Structure 1
Amino acid sequence: MAGRPEQIIHRLRERLRQPLPGPAAQGEMAPPYRRALLEASPGWPPDARSAAVLILLYPDGEDLAFPLTVRTQHVAHHKGQVSLPGGACEPGEDPVATALRETEEELGPLGAPVTLVGALTPLYVPPSGFLIHPVVGFLPRRPAFQPAPLEVAEVLEATLAWLLDPRSRGEEEWELHGGRWRIPVFRLQGHGVWGATAMILSEFRAVVREALAWARPARSPA
């Protein structure tokens, strides 16, 4: 990685203040049937329910890591899938407060205040009717995860190096929605990360790439 974790966080914060890659970057990891829906009906309905997820960054050597969770079979939505920690907003709650509250409910006390780095583009999920607000935060050290047994079957720890590695991306053929589709996935520790989580991470990957590119010295003209 280019720079120490604190330097990378600074560059990410500056990049997240600029216009975001948005649906174009999200769509790179959208399932084909979802891509068609996005093109036919961009945006989201006015009655979409608000939710938030947290990309919780913390140092991992010279890299930054963040947790993903494998959902149990007891949760209401997306059983067994890999997700970012998060959930539905309570009445009057803003997305940052939701993301922090839900993360601690799923993964236990974080041990230190989370510094807000920024936010990504909201993503509407038609099957559940949620408008997901992705929040990016930073902790100065890795938390001691205490996953909630009814919600979290396993905690997976990803890194920015993994996210940027082209070998992390692949495709799998699945039966879904009455058809057979080739679904883009991120491969992580034997799991396939797909759907809304993969779309959010796809935009985050684009932001990380651009943030790190700012750190590289310009080449002299030939």
Structure 2
Amino acid sequence: MSPDQPDVRVADTSAATLRRFLLVGLLATASLISAPAFANSYEAALSSARLGDTRQLVGLLNRGIDPNTVDANGNTLLILAAREGQLATVEALLRYRVRIDYRNLAGDSALMLAVLHGHAQVVEALINASATLDHEGWAPVHYAAFEGRDAILDRLLVAGVDVNARAPNQATALMLAARNGHVGVVRRLLSLPQIELNALNEAGLSADAWAAQNGNTDIAELIAAERKRRGLAAPAIRLTID
């Protein structure tokens, strides 16, 4: 190579180095921009689910936000929307193959919280989407009985819920309704041939004994009368003394 001829290899190497430098700079800049953008999208998705801003949430989902995004308490977008009774948002999320039976850190699913807060239309949508009715621990039927949700209980019964399922404290739906004075739910449950009248909770109390203990004597009498009608003996109450 002539001393006066430029070294093309050096020039090519310098150009490649410059391109790499520019590329690294662009990537670094993009990451700085995308991090807060992602954080903003995350917060916007959670807020949209809670407030029922379906249009904004669908837009975020279509741009790549995970439909199973959870907040600090383990609430998915579906759980948040169901808890707040946001029917349109729940229906939109169900089209994205969300984890319908996911349970938050407290053990509550979308269906459980919809039942707890009395959102009958959301309950209907979730049941139609095949949400699980029966599982270990607290279940939708317990919340319906505890809160006296007559119409929702009827829907759960139509769906085939286990009315004798035990809560962690060994209470059944009948016990919870009796304890809280929900006479309508108690009457509905007593009309079921499969309802257990002599089950005992962890404190050793039957449904009528628990009702009487909480001043719901009318309910205690209803349960005792149904037991007599069926020809059953009253259970031996098992009291636990600490």
TM-score > 0.5, shorter chain as reference: no
Q: Which has the higher contact order (CA 8 A, sep 6+)?
A: 1
TM-score (norm 1): 0.20
Which structure has the larger Rg? 2
**Larger helix proportion, structure 1 or 2?**
2
**Larger strand proportion, structure 1 or 2?**
1
TM-score (norm 2): 0.19
